[in-house]
Structure 1
Amino acid sequence: MNPLPLAGVRVLDLSRVLAGPLCAQALGDLGAEVIKVEHPSRGDDTRDWGVRVGDTETTYYNSANRNKRSVTLDLQTAEGQGLARELAAKCDVVLQNFKHGGVEKMHLAYEDIRALRPDIVYCSISGYDRYGQEAARPGYDLMVQGEAGLMAINGDADQPPLKFGVAAVDMFTGMYAAQAILAALFDRQRSGRGRHVEMALFDCGLMISAYYGLEALLKQEDPPRFGNAHPAIVPYGVFDAQDGPLIVAVGNNTQYERFCREVIERPDLAEDARFKTNLGRAQHRHELQPQLREALRAFPRRLLLDRMNAAGIPCGEVLGVLEALQSPRARAGGLVAELPHPVAGRTQVLAPPYRLDGERPPVRHAPPLLGEATREILAELLGVDDARFARLKADKVT
């Protein structure tokens, strides 16, 4: 495989939990060397979330920390802060999501690091706008899903507000942050100038509202909730066959006619003037949907899927998470990587979700054991000798 695009870029990941670590993981997947700084005794909070893997990792931690090396430093000590600043001076990117004011107290803020390395690309992730009245509020995915209106558009109309199954705001924030960092690195090649990238969970949560948000602004009211159905396309959603659920995604009027005639054997629904156009079907969804559901329940799922595939109608199965991860599609794509683990024997992680020049980037480093690279990195980058390292350990700095 050709060298990865970010080979030679070094990232200091001072972040914890999900948004920041996901951002750093994305950079690591693209070839950056990522040094994750963690507390010596407890590490990242997520080392205690989810299901235990080995002695220091969990499924939650492993989902956001592949392709990294772990260094332990107590950033509440002056010496730990000094070592972090020295590491930052050797890096191209610094990423942090400390609570408001915390990074300044540790002298690890953007201005502190820029004084050591003027071309640093520095990313701060917070819950809310760092220039607004809520700058000091801690931000959590669940809170922002509620405050950004996301719970109000999720789920069925007769349900109470519902959060997404995964921490969608954290995940989008991490990806937006990685995108902005890449843009800053690109600009640095041209201008030689560093940048301070600032991200807020609430800002990114609001972006996720997408077309629902614009509809709310246009109509000056909340859009209705459609659950697994589509707000503008009919039929489009999850339906029950005789023996289980399946996805039907009829995208245009020609597909709808074939669906009625060749799949569910209801030509009368194709001929009904109310349903001939998608606009008509959306307008009369309450008359059409019950008939479609009844027709689909008359057939086995496999037969329906075969008929829709033959007719060129988008469709799919509804799988459990385990089924999806173990599916032939996931195996053929190499989307789950298995790596050796010194305690558990083997550990599984998800692979990067893209290909470069036809190849999926490798998982170069399994999610690290707590502090496994501390000695190596401090010696390699900062020249810390054995005697000093022993003293740092004795003083619980590392």
Structure 2
Amino acid sequence: MGSPRPLDGIRVVEISSFVASPLCGLTLAQLGAEVIRVDPIGGAADINRWPLTDDGETSIYWTGLNKGKKSVTADLRSAEGQALVQRLVTESGPGGGILVTNSGGREWMSHHTLAARRADVITLELLGGSDGSPAVDYTVNAGLGFPMITGPLDHNGPVNHVLPAWDVVCGLYAALAITAAIRRREQTGAGSRIRLPLEDTALSIASALGYLTEPQVNSSSRPATGNDVYGTYGTDVVTADGDRFMLVALTPRHFRDLVRITETKSVIDALAGSLGADFTRESDRYTHRHVLNALFRKWFADRSTDIVTAALDESSVLSERYRSFDEVVSSGVLADNPMFAGLDQPGIGTYLAAGLPAAFDGEHFFTGPAADLGAHTPQT
């Protein structure tokens, strides 16, 4: 048996769907909390969300986000179903009294209603827009500015991201907020009413990274850079075999090594002199990236992937070959990573599933599989 987990003895009731809210619950479950996901009878809107198994019977997406949780179903429109949720939240011992949901706006599970039954209740409501209006990751992103600087430079128009980044960040912020509220309750005995809009999550991160500060301070926003890294030197290159690598030279040492392995020192020195550039400075490496790209890409294009890999491996240059998900799995990297362990998921089979990324004293925390929908519904 493993060591105690940080949230052992905590019970969280989750009424949620899609990404942010279930990811919050999954993270709390990995940390040791007992998480009870409550769905309407037949499942919420994400019960059959793609990707599905080849037979079309099981959602790989749904089971992935709901590992280790108990599953309860109820008619949430009925008085009986609503009373069941209220009991699960409020009559759950000292470690309970916690609700996470992205299905707020319902008086019967509002903080006010639950606090009348349990004064130290903690509720976290995930919303879409900052004003409470409906919004999802892709609509929030569209209104923030990132699609306008994403994609190839010769593409005219916005490019959406594939990773639902704001959902992911929001879900992790939600888990952090819950643990902070638990800590405050332990210190003061007070509950918490937490409101976390997806849009505010995105705005906060965009502000912290300077995307929203630049227009205010410099009167202009960040330009699109394609696969070049903004503000430093980084770009993609293609080998003679057609493989593509991402290179990043963040420091003068990285850049010196890139110059060394590409045998371009004399040309780089001459280029610096003619341009009046100092390539030990990030700003100059970025400003003159197009000239540098043409010079370095020629060396990579003339050499095989094996030669390129060997040269990069013995250097300090930050690099990685672009791979597909299929290649990642077939490479064996999952089996070699202690964060992954075999999981027998009913409806899917056995596969390597990730546990908590953070290792506590060298130990990654894992959960069991996702339960069958409604498997833990109380019998009346």
Aligned partner of 2:109 in structure 1 is 108
Deviation of residue 34 (structure 1)? 0.3
Aligned twin of 1:319: 323
Partner of 2:21: 20
Aligned residues of 1:157 and 1:224 also touching (Cα < 8 A): no
Q: 1:83-114: per-residue Cα shift (whole Å, max 9, x none)?
A: 11011112332011115x3x22xx11111111
Scaled by the length of structure 1, what TM-score is found? 0.86
Q: Deviations over 1:361-398 (max 9, x none)?
A: 022x2122111121xxx2xxxxx5xxxx2xxxxxxxxx
Q: Show the counterpart of 2:372.
A: 369
Q: Deviations over 1:266-297 (max 9, x none)?
A: 12243132353332221222222222212221
Distance 1:44 1:352, change over 3 A: farther
Q: Deviations over 1:286-332 (max 9, x none)?
A: 22222221222111223222222212222222111122234333221
- Aligned with 1:48: secondary structure? coil
Give the equivalent residue in structure 2 for 1:330.
Answer: 334
Counterparts of 2:177 and 2:123, CA distance in 1: 10
Q: Distance in 1 between matches of 2:267 and 2:59?
A: 52
For the residue of structure 2 that corresponds to 1:212, the secondary structure is coil
C-alpha distance in structure 1 between counterparts of 2:278 and 2:324, whole Å: 33
For residue 352 of structure 1, what is the aligned residue in structure 2? 356
Give the Å deviation of 1:28.
0.5
Confirm or deny that 1:266 pairs with 2:264.
Answer: yes
Equivalences for residues 299-314 of structure 1 within 5 A: 299-314=303-318
Gaps of 5+ in 1: 379-383, 390-398
Matches within 5 A, 1:1-398: 1-41=2-42, 43-53=43-53, 57-89=58-90, 90=92, 91-98=96-103, 101=105, 103-104=106-107, 107-129=108-130, 134-135=131-132, 137-159=133-155, 160-209=157-206, 210-234=209-233, 236-243=234-241, 244-261=243-260, 263-271=261-269, 272-273=271-272, 274=277, 276-277=279-280, 278-346=282-350, 349-363=353-367, 365-374=368-377, 378=378, 389=380
Aligned letter for 1:182?
A: T
Q: Is the 8 A contact 1:55 1:343 kept in 2?
A: no
> Which moved further from structure 2: 155-164 or 86-95?
155-164
Q: Which structure: greater helix fraction?
A: 1
Contact preservation (8 Å) 2:57, 2:347 = no
Instruction: Report the identity percentage.
Output: 26
- Conserved 8 A contact 1:20-1:97: yes
TM-score by length of 2: 0.90
Going from structure 1 to structure 2, the CA distance change for 1:225 and 1:162 (only over 3 Å counts) comes to same
Aligned alpha-carbon RMSD (Å)? 2.0
CA shift in 2, pair 1:225/1:114, >3 Å: same
Work out whether residues 12 and 37 of structure 1, in 8 Å CA contact, stay in contact via their aligned partners in 2: yes
Q: Cα offset for 1:186?
A: 1.1
Separation (CA, whole Å) in 1 of partners of 2:221 and 2:327: 36
**Which runs of structure 1 show a deviation greater than 6 angstroms over 4 or more consecutive aligned residues?**
none
Give secondary structure in 1 for the equivalent of 2:47: helix
Shift of 1:240: 1.1
Q: In structure 2, how many angstroms separate the alpha carbons of the residues matched to 1:345 and 1:257?
A: 49
CA distance in 1, matches of 2:344, 2:375: 15
Displacement of 1:161 after TM fit?
1.1
Where do 5+ consecutive residues of structure 2 fail to align? none
